[in-house]
Amino acid sequence: MDERSGIREIKGIGEKAEKTFGKVGIRTVGDLLRYYPRGYEVYEDPSAIGELEEGHTMTVSGAIYGRVQVSGSQKMQITTLYVKDLTGTLKVIWFRMPFLRTTLARGGAVTLRGRIVRKKDGLVMEHPELFYPSIKYEEKRASLQPVYPLTTGLTNNAVIKAIRQAVEALGIGEGILPRDIQESFALVSYEQAIRGIHFPETKEEFYQARERLVFEEFLLFILSLRMMKEQKERVLNPYCFREQEQIGQFLERLPYELTGAQKSVWREIRQDMSGTHVMSRLVQGDVGSGKTIVALLAMMFAGLNGYQAAMMAPTEVLARQHFENIRNMLAEYGIMLRAELLTGSMTGKEKRDACERIASGESNLIIGTHALIQEKVTYRDLALVVTDEQHRFGVRQRERLAAKGVCPHILVMSATPIPRTLAIILYGDLDISVIGELPKNRLPIKNCVVDTGYRETAYRFMKKQICSGRQCYIICPMVEESDSLEVENVTDYTEIVRDALGKGITVAYLHGKMKQAEKDEIMDAFAKNEIQVLVSTTVIEVGIDVPNASVIMIENSERFGLAQLHQLRGRVGRGVHQSYCIFMSASRSEETRERLEILNQSNDGFFIAGEDLRLRGPGDLFGIRQSGIMDFRLGDVFQDAKILKAASEAAAGILDEDPGLERQKHACLKKAMGQMLSRNALETTL
């Protein structure tokens, strides 16, 4: 058995289990080994019964007191047991486990781990994990128990068992890292890493295992990017771009002057597009810095030179907003180009018609969502691809869209405030431009952090703003992960806001479960100030641009990450009006206060990202987080910035020494890269 073997070769995995594992993408032994836990549970020291706390998962050790009883209906049998220690007696119940009556003997020593709930007759431990005799608990005590992502039919124990079997039966090889790299970066061996990520005995073991695996992930990613960049750099620019007078005229008639930063980025883009090689450029800028107009200029530049340009937005609402914006500008300034919208929610006929106009070249500027790559779209002469909010798309999707043209120029817009040093590593295949200044007409947003007692005052404040012509967003309080409740919650909350604001103010809501047409209608009405208050879940997070909106109130701010709060806040302060952000928080914890204070003090995305990193700290054991920026299994580009840097150094060293990865010691690495790149290529052709 090796990593490529099917999982059926593992003892205990039959046809049924094979299917279940298949649902989470595990087909081979290698897939299984790289199915990492999403967190770990610590089997803590037992607590005294007299000190148990409601709502927590806790462990108790004691003697079985009295007889085990089974009651309830045939369908739902309840087994009850009392356990006693020096400090008290605890009632314990299990559902559908009547057989325990014969297993558990009166007076026996037992350890139980479960959730403590309050019932009529006091605290009860519900459906706990049982260690009988107690000594069995010692094996688990203080160790970290992996918790895997699961699906229907797949239990945590089944995953643990399968991985244990695989680890024991398989001589785990050396992995892909060359020995010299492993040694010079003081990383643990592949075998230690695999054991340590699944079954760490200590936190230290976990950290080391994770470090090695994250390093590997980053190294592969960086090497692949470098290779892609090299291949790209060889591509000569097949397009012929000439300066267009109409662009200059357009800029002169625009109601505002471009900022210095916008001008210089626009210059770089123009030079790239008419240069000798195909452009691959990332434009980074804080929320509201005016990236859209720069993208639009590039698209017009392509259109006026007789080519097509496509822009892929992360949501339909945003695609429509860009489309309307572009269409209106073309009409207003008399530019003879045709904009086209293509999104998944359009009817079959609408899509077909749009595709025809794209294929014939009648439409030059195409704006859409994933539909731009998913639908069967052919372009007549695609010379530029703009992807908005790049972090919502992977490198693969970007490539897939690029594959639709011959080899179009690529422009990526990103509001993710990552420090330049990090950006250079992460977007290794792109050149980077930064729009590092906000338009001059902006007043800094005024912030406040308040508790829910301030709500009434906030409503009064909003009412005043609305009376002077402004509009407001309210990010709705959240309900615990429940989709059906989410809808109810937004509608109920909207009623409360309507009552609070009184007649004459139109309040509407927006949530993820609404039909696209409904969402579009609401957004259109909000943009026209027919709606004054928009209550929403976080669907409005990215890119929405209504400069007249001057207040945003974010309920449950404590539940969001700093970067997301900054994005949400960025929906206001986009015009000449003084804007306000009210961070409402129900939590009194010191940590929450400190986090929100950062936003209260600063409107600068780069500063906030840095502080976020400082607060999150290295090695966040219980949440192996995904930053959402890159699609890494384990790594987090913020949290693991140090490992990322180390991997980047390692990549540079490897390529210096052996540019084609021809040496024997790099063979495994090259193979893994090949697999990764061919996976990309495969998706590109789909």
Helix or strand holding residue 667 (H, E): helix 667-685
Measured from the CB atom, the residue of 415 and 613 that comes closer to ligand ATP is 415
Q: Could you tell me whether strands 580-585 and 339-342 are parallel, antiparallel, or unpaired per DSSP bridges?
A: unpaired
| Contact set for ligand ATP, span 484-543 (CB under 6 A) | 543
Cα–Cα distance for residue pair 205/192, rounded to 1 Å = 8
* Candidate residues 52, 287, 311, 535; the one interacting with ligand ATP per rule CB under 6 A: 287
At 250, list the tokens. Answer: 């357009």
| Contact set for ligand ATP, span 373-412 (CB under 6 A) | none
Piece of 169-177, 256-264, 360-368, 597-605 that binds ligand ATP (CB under 6 A): 256-264
| Shortest spacing between CB 606 and ligand ATP, in angstroms | 14
Question: Is residue 256 a contact residue for ligand ATP (CB under 6 A)?
Answer: yes
The size of the interface with ligand ATP (CB under 6 A), counted in residues, is 20
Q: What residues have CB less than 8 Å from 146, skipping those under 6 apart? A: 37, 40, 156, 159, 160, 198, 199
> Which of 249, 600, 277 has the alpha carbon at shortest distance from 408?
277
CA dihedral 292, 295, 297, 301 (to 10 degrees): -160
Q: What residues have CB less than 8 Å from 255, skipping those under 6 apart? A: none
Piece of 210-218, 283-291, 305-313, 669-677 that binds ligand ATP (CB under 6 A): 283-291
Piece of 23-31, 291-299, 492-500, 663-671 that binds ligand ATP (CB under 6 A): 291-299
Helix or strand holding residue 146 (H, E): strand 144-147
Piece of 56-64, 147-155, 286-294, 525-533 that binds ligand ATP (CB under 6 A): 286-294
Ramachandran area for residue 111 (φ above 0: left; ψ -120 to 50: alpha; else beta): beta
Helix or strand holding residue 578 (H, E): none
| Shortest spacing between CB 80 and ligand ATP, in angstroms | 57
| Shortest spacing between CB 319 and ligand ATP, in angstroms | 13
* Candidate residues 293, 302, 472, 552; the one interacting with ligand ATP per rule CB under 6 A: 293
Measured from the CB atom, the residue of 70 and 525 that comes closer to ligand ATP is 525
What HEC string does 12-61 produce?
CCCHHHHHHHHHCCCCEHHHHHCCCCCEEEECCCCECHHHCCCCCEEEEE
Cα–Cα distance for residue pair 546/51, rounded to 1 Å = 54
Q: Are 170 and 29 in contact (CB under 8 A)?
A: yes
What separation, in Å, do the N-terminal and C-terminal C-alpha atoms of the chain show?
32
Question: Is residue 315 a contact residue for ligand ATP (CB under 6 A)?
Answer: no
Cα–Cα distance for residue pair 2/362, rounded to 1 Å = 55
| Shortest spacing between CB 154 and ligand ATP, in angstroms | 39
Piece of 62-70, 191-199, 255-263, 461-469 that binds ligand ATP (CB under 6 A): 255-263
- Using CB under 6 A as the criterion, what x/- string covers residues 125-164 for binding ligand ATP? ----------------------------------------
* Candidate residues 231, 271, 441, 457; the one interacting with ligand ATP per rule CB under 6 A: 441
Measured from the CB atom, the residue of 543 and 635 that comes closer to ligand ATP is 543
User: What is the CA angle 679-680-685, rounded to 5?
Assistant: 100
Measured from the CB atom, the residue of 290 and 635 that comes closer to ligand ATP is 290
Cα–Cα distance for residue pair 264/279, rounded to 1 Å = 16
* Candidate residues 79, 80, 111, 259; the one interacting with ligand ATP per rule CB under 6 A: 259
Piece of 170-178, 252-260, 483-491, 657-665 that binds ligand ATP (CB under 6 A): 252-260
Residue with tokens 């749009």: 354
Question: Is residue 292 a contact residue for ligand ATP (CB under 6 A)?
Answer: yes
Neighbours of 118 (CB within 10 A): 10
| Shortest spacing between CB 309 and ligand ATP, in angstroms | 17
Neighbours of 11 (CB within 10 A): 10
Residue with tokens 């500027």: 365
Piece of 3-11, 159-167, 254-262, 612-620 that binds ligand ATP (CB under 6 A): 254-262
* Candidate residues 59, 182, 289, 579; the one interacting with ligand ATP per rule CB under 6 A: 289
Name all contacts of 628-632 with Cβ < 8 Å and 24+ positions apart. Answer: 628/391, 629/391, 629/416, 629/418, 629/426, 630/221, 630/391, 630/394, 630/426, 631/394, 632/214, 632/217, 632/218, 632/221
| Shortest spacing between CB 447 and ligand ATP, in angstroms | 17
Piece of 101-109, 218-226, 281-289, 600-608 that binds ligand ATP (CB under 6 A): 281-289
| Residue burial 180-199, b: 16+ Cβ < 10 Å; e: rest | ebbeebebbbbeebbbbbbb
Is the link from the previous residue into 133 a cis peptide, with omega within 30 of 0?
A: yes
Q: Are 40 and 145 in contact (CB under 8 A)?
A: yes
| Shortest spacing between CB 325 and ligand ATP, in angstroms | 8
Piece of 209-217, 236-244, 282-290, 488-496 that binds ligand ATP (CB under 6 A): 282-290
Measured from the CB atom, the residue of 113 and 270 that comes closer to ligand ATP is 270
* Candidate residues 37, 62, 200, 285; the one interacting with ligand ATP per rule CB under 6 A: 285
Measured from the CB atom, the residue of 169 and 254 that comes closer to ligand ATP is 254
Piece of 122-130, 202-210, 253-261, 661-669 that binds ligand ATP (CB under 6 A): 253-261
| Contact set for ligand ATP, span 557-586 (CB under 6 A) | 570, 574
- Residue 93, phi then psi, degrees to nearest 5: -130, 150
| Shortest spacing between CB 443 and ligand ATP, in angstroms | 12
* 280: β partners: 410
At 686, list the tokens. Answer: 């789909």
| Shortest spacing between CB 292 and ligand ATP, in angstroms | 3
Question: Is residue 262 a contact residue for ligand ATP (CB under 6 A)?
Answer: yes
Question: Is residue 447 a contact residue for ligand ATP (CB under 6 A)?
Answer: no
| Shortest spacing between CB 609 and ligand ATP, in angstroms | 14
At 21, list the tokens. Answer: 């594992």
Measured from the CB atom, the residue of 259 and 280 that comes closer to ligand ATP is 259
* Candidate residues 290, 405, 408, 428; the one interacting with ligand ATP per rule CB under 6 A: 290
Question: Is residue 439 a contact residue for ligand ATP (CB under 6 A)?
Answer: yes
> Which of 166, 61, 58 has the alpha carbon at shortest distance from 110?
61
Alpha carbon of 259 to those of 256, 348, 413: distances in Å? Answer: 9, 42, 17
| Shortest spacing between CB 392 and ligand ATP, in angstroms | 12
Alpha carbon of 671 to those of 176, 190, 406, 668: distances in Å? Answer: 9, 16, 28, 5
| Shortest spacing between CB 264 and ligand ATP, in angstroms | 13
Indicate the residue whose CB is closest to ligand ATP: 290
Question: Is residue 417 a contact residue for ligand ATP (CB under 6 A)?
Answer: no
Measured from the CB atom, the residue of 7 and 581 that comes closer to ligand ATP is 581
Piece of 280-288, 367-375, 479-487, 490-498 that binds ligand ATP (CB under 6 A): 280-288
List residues near ligand ATP by CB under 6 A.
256, 258-259, 262, 285, 287-293, 415, 439, 441, 543, 545, 547, 570, 574
